[in-house]
Structure 1
Amino acid sequence: MSDPCPPSFPSDRSVQAPRSIRVALAGQPNCGKSTLFNALTGVHQHIANYPGVTVDKKSGHYRDGDLAVELVDLPGTYSLTSFSLEERVARAFLNDERPDVIVNVIDATTLRRGLYLTFQLLEMGFPVVVALTMTDVAHSRGLTLDLDILATRLNAPVIPVVGHKGTGREDLRAAIRAVAERTEPVTPASLNYGDMEDEVAALQARIADLPAVTDKVSARWMAVRLLEADSEAERILRRMVSNAHGLLDQAHQAAEAFEARKGRSVGDHIAACRDDLAGDIVATGTSRADTGRMPLTERIDRVLLNRWLAPAFLVLTVWIIYELSIVQGYELTKVTWPLLAGFRSLAGDVLPAAGFLHDPMVRSLGLWMVDSANALLNYVPIFLILFALIAILEDSGYMARIAFILDRILHRFGLHGQSTLPYILAGVFAGGCAVPGVMATKGIPDQRARMATILTVPFMNCLAKVPLYTLLITIYFPDTKGLILFYLSTITVIFALLIAKLLSVSVLRHMETAPFVMELPHYHLPTVTGVLRRSVDRTWLYIKKVGTVVVAIATIVYVLLQFPGLSPERQAAYHTRAEAAITDFRTALEGNPLAAAVPDQDSLTQLVNLYTDYRSDRMMVGSREAAEALDTRITENHPDLAPFVVRSRDPNAREAQKALRTLATERKELRREMKDERIVNSVLGQFGRALEPVTQYANFDWKINVALFSSFAARESSVATLGVLFDQPEGENQTLEERMGSQQKAAGYTALTAVALMLFFALYPPCLATTIMIRVQTQSYAWMAFSIVFPTTLALTMASLTYSIGAALGLTGLEMMTAIYLSALGLLLLVGFFRAPFGRTLPRPAYATGTEGRAE
């Protein structure tokens, strides 16, 4: 190979001294880029998403004298090809936004690997400043860096920095300013491609004569990318040049001739040239002294990645994440929920007052929207803890090791090592939530595996599914509860893996799956500031995005549950009962001087609303002093009505309070019955009846259908709806299990029906909040619809086959459940051990340790 760094092409632009500039921060994953970003920008930063994708877009600002600098933190990427989403996003930003300066962040301990990206940035013609991070770690390992030689070889400033200490920050700012304000043309370092240099030079010369191209991209970069048959580069060329066939044909013919002559692909040759140059620069610009000590990272990995200890540490880590974020985070909702409930009370005070039986549409819809938002905002404590823990795992370096441990197993089913955390957060065996599970898929670099994870995370046993399972097991499997719970808690994982495999070889087969290099970075101690900032930023992003979508979805669900409403006859019946209750109230107050305070219907409605609000507020107060303050406020604001509400020893007041309590109870019952009947007769209720001809094969009646529909808004509502639909017998006080069991068994339902229902519920589409999050993460309404339609079809098919086959063979519920479990487990083992019949084997990733030159 000839001189590796000859001048190859001049800079395309001369920069005038700017007063404001845009700087891009580019580097490979785990190189210390985020820490350096925080050190440069401080609190002046913003997090969003790049348009159309879910990759984080972090930008910040700082001032250097009279110069305003916008710093954009690009996604971590090993190269600027177009394999992964991060690579495409980073390259599109560089080509479209054309930043004034690029700060290339390189881990000094892995300099050779880091230079691979540096060469591509230089080849694109950008002014580059190289920031060497972790120089303190490099020195502790006996590595000496000759910064002058490195800067000469790269023809770019090389600044050593230690991000978490702030060392080198001002030197880096000065270098950025000097490069941005430089007016003389600069000849960037360029790689000579040896045996292929003639082809590159010839193609570069033709492209250099096309101003429409060179005004946007480097001619040499475009020439190299065309020879590599980069599809994105070809699209850019076609967009810029009206007739690009000549250039494309030349590139294809040159590549074919080279491969025929040398017996190796263009891509392999280019990669080898870059690696050779990187090795030569490292050899001349660094020296290493033998310290005689094994690096700390390798010593830790000998324990954490030990064949026998690694699974134990992984399980312990997963348990800690689950315990702190889901369990303890849910405990924190006991603190935040009163705040959300207080906001609901405030909204209720602002909205039009409730009627005696019917509320104004504005009030009912407004409170519905508040309740929908509160249901999502109640997850905020969980997310804050979850994202903080994820940031700790990422910054410490252990997150990459989790993926390393499990990737080879999950890969057999079209998943990824980083699919582990989403499954854990979603519940796996029982107790999680699919919303944070779907959100945690953001870090999966393989697009196909990420989509397979998103679409199968809802199959996990979230906490909201447990009540229905408990109800059905108590009714139909009282003697085998443990075995059925074991089946349910593990069969969902089996289904998720099998369905992920099915999706990856069918609807997801055309998605790109990048040849992924999984680097095991050095262990680092996370900074409190960095962890807190990322936790708050990601949580706020969730609040903003979900809040914009939930309004539309909640409105649709509200309409479907409210209309067409009750018939005139039923409304008249409820009004008659309400008038009777009011008459009883006034009769009870005859001769009571307090009756003068409620002379008409409006004042009576106001009194009942006041009583209802008072009772709600009393449940929220936590001390006697707060209760007394509440009583004082009611007395001052409603002096005429306060004797009906506030506790008193006055006989007239006690008599009035007793009558009001009876009226409020009757009113509450009437409103509940009206609401329940409205649900039954609503569009969703009628739809449930209309589906009986289809669901009859699973032995589901309209009541079960309505309960399943209502659970789309929230899984917990399935049991609540069943509690409404299976009414309490007159004069009895039975539990829901007793009512539902007796009524269903009287109708001929058996444990086989319960098995079909539980399997349906396990595979049922995600709840409203999870569906919204799927839309947010995929940026697609089509995938959001697929996440509803596909599981519904699959669940109904499974439930129908379960009941129909079991009934035909005369099997009991336990026998059928056992047969399904063993069949699914056998299929899982078959797919896992024999991969060839089920589709193309995906390329395996390479695993690199954080130590220079070692690979596994």
Structure 2
Amino acid sequence: MESKVFRIALAGNPNCGKTTIFNRLTGTRQHVGNYPGVTVERKTGSCRINDFRVEIVDLPGIYSLSSSSPEEKVAFQELLKGDIDLILNIIDAGNAQRNMYLTTQLTELDIPMLLAFNMIDDAEKQGLVFDFQKLEGFFGSPIVPTVGSTGTGLEELRRKIYEIGRDPSPQRPVKPKYGPKTDEAIRALTAGIEALNLPETKRIPARYFAIKVLEDDPEICLRPEFAAFCSEAAEWRKQISARNGMNSRTLMADFRYGVIAGACREAITISNDRRRQLSDVIDKYVTNRFLGVPIFLLMMYLVFQFTFAVGQYPMDWLEAFFGWLGRTVNEVWPVGQAEFLQRLLVEGIIGGVGGVLVFLPNILLLFLSIAILEGTGYMARAAFIMDGFMHKFGLHGKSFIPMLLGFGCSVPAVMATRTIDNESDRKTTIMVVPFMSCGARLPIYAMLIPAFFPEKFQALTMWIIYLIGIVVALGCALLLKSTIFKGEGEVFVMELPPYRWPTLRSILILMWEKTSMYLHKAGTLILLASILLFVINTFPEKKSFSVDYPAEIAKVEHSVASEEEKAGELSRLNAEQKGELLEYSIAGRIGKGLEVVMKPLGFDWKVSSALIGAFAAKELFVAQLGILYSVEDAESEESTLQSALQKNYTPLQGFCIMLFCLLTVPCIATMAVVRREANSWKFMFAQIALYTVIAYVVTLVVFQAGSVLDIGTKPFLPPVRETAIVRQAMPDGGMR
């Protein structure tokens, strides 16, 4: 056994605590990917139980082994591979009767099975009492009560896994019976399939495939090897229907529910009258048709308030660290040697990548908040609330899930639309999902909002930006569903799990996944792009200037003015020379060309040039501005990118920059996925045109209206205290 890997499939309904058990068993030894062709997440992990090497496959949360959704299809295919030694079926003990429908289907696979009645503490609070010995008799599988959030029962679970693994002939589950005529049909079809001697039947019993053929399961019936049995199965279905007054699929489902009802009646009792649960009390208000949406908006506001209030401190520490790092490199670098590399390191890499990493605390706190809301069960309520609300705008109920994912990243959000069967609903959702403010835009907001808005209005400003994205998405969806993508929507069924405290382990794992993704992006794409941006901000180098800056600097230094006046004049001369150098560069010329078009929106050439890099990745907008403003204040201990922006732009301009970045074309990776998912270049270019027009028109209206009404044209914050910077003239007329 030491040389063999014992493979376990973790199966269960959504919200049964399956992921918590998976995390408890595997810890950090996990691998996350996607199943080929779908966006359903594939999680595998490993652990050792005594001398066993165990590999655990965490199947998607499913309600049955049919093939009506991508999750059920991939779970079905994973189990049919035949290399699973044990099925660990996780059951929500408080909803055992509903959860065990999947159990009755898993028994047909004839794979040893272990049942974990999870969240047993919640079930006991409901007054439920279990006779596990009787339940084990009904299903022919051992049962272990667990509490995944606390680890209760996990040692017993590991012991049972070890015992089953050591048993040379482990117990097989008890298979349900479906009535005389149906069982006769199953036996006849089983005999025919066994006679074919197919490779599949060496791994999975022929009886299982016979049941699937009888149920007319499309995943099985479309396989050529089973095509010969379809007509025979159709004849059996007619006989069953004639005898029982219902079709075979409904009849078999009824028998499964009958087995479950009988088992629960015999083995589960209620010790006292069920009192109204806390979940029901909370849901009375949270899912209320009038209060639900305002409460959801309030929750989002509190999330943003938490993100800014707590995130400001570590963000300041990181900003101070990268400022110190840049100054230290300048101090230790030998004077006059490899000056281009020095500037590339300080201004390009530290200024660009460091400018993006500064906002990592805000991103972590945002995902921490969302993870907590998901873990408590609130986000399922949010989906339920928004489902009814979104139908008013022509969107399918399932569209909320991709839109919710869009707050993290537009790429998986667009891919997640594969779960929407209706083509017009799917294309509408793909078109509007990128309006959701993704995590890549968060560094832009985290940079601009504290620079222009008082602390008490920062969360409100961010809330408004996110709300604008939602409103524009819903407005576009209504327009598209009324014109181009007309069609009836479908019913969306969603389970509301009971409220519970999320586990610290699951939150930390989620935060680590998001952090590693962000750091990987900063260390690869953003690093390379920052180097490229530095190059186009540096070359070609300007040799002649409108003013003889070395001479002017010398005059100031030898003047009789006060030290404060000298410092101010020297800072002005440095800024002017830096401006001329940047305007002459490739980036400056691109920005100057765009400024003609972007000036009505309140954007100068620097902002315009930064928007070009944002098409590759939104974070590069921050990196470009970090590079553009890095030289002027590089030696200051108090000057930051935010203070530089505050000196150069108004709050109205800052808000319009965020608005344009929210509504404009998403990153190039998103557009590539849109083309692939829609299978149309025309669709992709139509989306680019739509986003460009909407971003330009909305930002134009806001800026011009604000200018006319004199809103945000003056600073809301006190001016940043100036810090004098004295630079040395270099022989070639440049500055250090």
Same fold (TM over 0.5): yes
1:281, distance to aligned residue in structure 2 (A): 2.0
TM-score (structure 2 length as normaliser): 0.71
Q: Determine the C-alpha separation between the residues in 1 that align with 2:57 and 2:675.
A: 22
Q: Determine the C-alpha separation between the residues in 2 that align with 1:245 and 1:349.
A: 77
For residues 785 and 466 of structure 1, do their structure 2 counterparts lie closer, same or farther at Cα, with a shift above 3 Å needed? farther
For residues 489 and 177 of structure 1, do their structure 2 counterparts lie closer, same or farther at Cα, with a shift above 3 Å needed? closer
| 1:220 alignment counterpart | 207
Q: Determine the C-alpha separation between the residues in 2 that align with 1:227 and 1:304.
A: 43
Matching residue within 80, 101, 107 for 1:122: 107
| 1:191 alignment counterpart | 176
- Alignment map for 1:298-697 (pairs within 5 Å): 298-342=280-324, 359-360=340-341, 364=344, 368=348, 371-413=351-393, 415=395, 446-447=419-420, 448=426, 451=430, 454-458=433-437, 464=444, 492-501=469-478, 517-544=493-520, 547-551=523-527, 561=536, 565-566=539-540, 571-574=542-545, 581=549, 669-679=576-586, 684=590, 688=594
Q: Which structure would you say has the larger RCO, counting Cα contacts within 8 Å and 6 or more residues apart?
A: 1
1:319-378 residue CA offsets vs partner (Å, 9 max, x unmatched): 22221135533553222333344556677799998889x825x96389645555435433
- Alignment map for 1:801-840 (pairs within 5 Å): none
Q: Determine the C-alpha separation between the residues in 1 that align with 2:253 and 2:120.
A: 26
| 2:455 alignment counterpart | none
| 2:665 alignment counterpart | 765
Q: Determine the C-alpha separation between the residues in 2 that align with 1:172 and 1:405.
A: 37
1:157, distance to aligned residue in structure 2 (A): 0.9
Q: Determine the C-alpha separation between the residues in 1 that align with 2:587 and 2:480.
A: 36
**Is the partner of 1:454 in helix, strand or coil?**
helix
Q: Determine the C-alpha separation between the residues in 1 that align with 2:679 and 2:217.
A: 28
Contact in 2 for aligned 1:105/1:130 (Cα 8 Å):
yes
1:279 aligns with 2:261: yes
Q: Determine the C-alpha separation between the residues in 2 that align with 1:327 and 1:275.
A: 52
For residues 658 and 506 of structure 1, do their structure 2 counterparts lie closer, same or farther at Cα, with a shift above 3 Å needed? same
Contact in 1 for aligned 2:117/2:143 (Cα 8 Å):
yes
Contact in 2 for aligned 1:48/1:541 (Cα 8 Å):
no
Counterpart amino acid of 1:765? V
Contact in 2 for aligned 1:353/1:359 (Cα 8 Å):
no
Larger CA deviation: 439-448 vs 54-63: 439-448
Contact in 1 for aligned 2:376/2:501 (Cα 8 Å):
yes
For residues 57 and 468 of structure 1, do their structure 2 counterparts lie closer, same or farther at Cα, with a shift above 3 Å needed? closer
Contact in 2 for aligned 1:467/1:719 (Cα 8 Å):
no
| 2:96 alignment counterpart | 111
For residues 221 and 412 of structure 1, do their structure 2 counterparts lie closer, same or farther at Cα, with a shift above 3 Å needed? farther
1:121, distance to aligned residue in structure 2 (A): 2.1
1:213, distance to aligned residue in structure 2 (A): 1.8
1:418-462 residue CA offsets vs partner (Å, 9 max, x unmatched): 977997998xxxxxxx65788899999955497566323149997
Q: Determine the C-alpha separation between the residues in 2 that align with 1:500 and 1:417.
A: 13
Contact in 2 for aligned 1:123/1:190 (Cα 8 Å):
yes
Q: Determine the C-alpha separation between the residues in 2 that align with 1:506 and 1:352.
A: 66
| 1:101 alignment counterpart | 86
Contact in 2 for aligned 1:55/1:442 (Cα 8 Å):
no
Q: CA RMSD in A?
A: 5.8
Q: Determine the C-alpha separation between the residues in 1 that align with 2:479 and 2:336.
A: 51
Q: Determine the C-alpha separation between the residues in 2 that align with 1:166 and 1:77.
A: 23
**Is the partner of 1:573 in helix, strand or coil?**
coil
| 2:29 alignment counterpart | 45
1:253, distance to aligned residue in structure 2 (A): 6.7
Larger radius of gyration: 1
1:181 aligns with 2:160: no
Contact in 1 for aligned 2:112/2:170 (Cα 8 Å):
no
For residues 740 and 776 of structure 1, do their structure 2 counterparts lie closer, same or farther at Cα, with a shift above 3 Å needed? closer
For residues 192 and 413 of structure 1, do their structure 2 counterparts lie closer, same or farther at Cα, with a shift above 3 Å needed? farther
Percent of residue pairs bearing the same amino acid type: 28
For residues 664 and 103 of structure 1, do their structure 2 counterparts lie closer, same or farther at Cα, with a shift above 3 Å needed? same
Structure 1, unpaired ranges of 5+? 1-15, 427-433, 472-484, 591-650, 725-734, 742-750, 807-811, 818-856
Q: Determine the C-alpha separation between the residues in 1 that align with 2:183 and 2:325.
A: 68
**Is the partner of 1:675 in helix, strand or coil?**
helix
Q: Determine the C-alpha separation between the residues in 2 that align with 1:304 and 1:802.
A: 33
1:295 aligns with 2:202: no
1:793, distance to aligned residue in structure 2 (A): 0.4
Matching residue within 185, 188, 209 for 1:202: 188
Matching residue within 110, 132, 137 for 1:147: 132
Q: Determine the C-alpha separation between the residues in 2 that align with 1:146 and 1:547.
A: 55
Structure 2, unpaired ranges of 5+? 421-425, 452-461, 630-643, 709-736
1:292, distance to aligned residue in structure 2 (A): 5.6
Q: Determine the C-alpha separation between the residues in 2 that align with 1:803 and 1:31.
A: 45
1:470-527 residue CA offsets vs partner (Å, 9 max, x unmatched): 99xxxxxxxxxxxxx99999765442113335667999999x9997542222222333
For residues 73 and 287 of structure 1, do their structure 2 counterparts lie closer, same or farther at Cα, with a shift above 3 Å needed? same
Q: Determine the C-alpha separation between the residues in 1 that align with 2:354 and 2:682.
A: 26
Larger CA deviation: 161-170 vs 305-314: 305-314
Q: Determine the C-alpha separation between the residues in 2 that align with 1:249 and 1:83.
A: 22
Q: Determine the C-alpha separation between the residues in 1 that align with 2:601 and 2:571.
A: 42
**Is the partner of 1:126 in helix, strand or coil?**
coil
Contact in 2 for aligned 1:414/1:452 (Cα 8 Å):
no
For residues 22 and 571 of structure 1, do their structure 2 counterparts lie closer, same or farther at Cα, with a shift above 3 Å needed? same
**Is the partner of 2:7 in helix, strand or coil?**
strand
Counterpart amino acid of 1:205? A
1:217-272 residue CA offsets vs partner (Å, 9 max, x unmatched): 4433333334445444456x45xx5xx54345655676688679877665544433
1:35, distance to aligned residue in structure 2 (A): 3.1
1:760-815 residue CA offsets vs partner (Å, 9 max, x unmatched): 7663113x5xx65x4899896989999984443014545899999x9xxxxx9769
**Is the partner of 1:25 in helix, strand or coil?**
strand
Q: Determine the C-alpha separation between the residues in 2 that align with 1:210 and 1:514.
A: 41
Matching residue within 60, 65, 72 for 1:75: 60
1:130-154 residue CA offsets vs partner (Å, 9 max, x unmatched): 0112223333333222212211111
Counterpart amino acid of 1:539? T
